Amino acid sequence: MPTRPALLPLLPVHDTVACCEPLVHEVLAADQAERLARVLKAIADPARLRLLSLVAAQESGELCTCDATDRLGLTQPTVSHHFKVLVAAGLLARDKRGVWAYYALVPGALDALAGLLATTGSAR
C-alpha cells in the first residue's frame, strides 16, 4: 500500500479549471472557491513565485534542484518543500534522473489559472 503523501494533495489546476467557471462569470460555489484558493495559496509565496519564474527562465525548460538552491539562496530542504507544493498544485512536473530531480512547468497550467482570473471574454 502506498504511503500517505506528506503534503495534503492539492487539486491540480487543470481539475480546478474543469470544475469551475471563471471568477467573473458567475458566483463561485463554496467548494469551487475552496479549490481555487488552494491553488492560489500554492503560489502566494515569494519563494515559490521565484522558483516558478526560475524554472520558466531555463533554456532547457527545466530546473535541477541542484541549481535552485544557489540561485535563490535557500537550503535544500526548503527548496524541496516549495517544489513539492508546486507539484501538488499541478503547476510543476517532476522528473527524477539519477540523484537529482528536474522540474518543468506543466504546459498550460499557469495560463489556465490566469484564465480563471481574467475578465476578458466575460459579459462585463
Residues that bind its own copies (CB under 8 A): 23-28, 30, 33-34, 36-37, 40-41, 43-47, 49-50, 52-54, 56-57, 61, 71, 105, 110-111, 113-115, 117-120, 122, 124
Closest distance to its own copies from the beta carbon of 36 (Å): 6
Closest distance to its own copies from the beta carbon of 12 (Å): 16
CA distances from 119 to 26, 111, 123 (A): 11, 14, 8
Closest distance to its own copies from the beta carbon of 98 (Å): 25
CB closer to its own copies, 4 vs 106:
106
Contacts of 118 (CB under 8 A, 6+ apart): 22
Q: Any bridge partners for residue 64, and if so which?
A: 102
CB closer to its own copies, 91 vs 101:
91
- Degrees, nearest 5: CA angle 54-68-89: 65
CB closer to its own copies, 2 vs 92:
92
Contacts of 24 (CB under 8 A, 6+ apart): 119, 122, 124
Q: Any bridge partners for residue 101, and if so which?
A: 96
CB closer to its own copies, 2 vs 68:
68
Joined grid coordinates for residue 104:
518543468
Closest distance to its own copies from the beta carbon of 2 (Å): 29
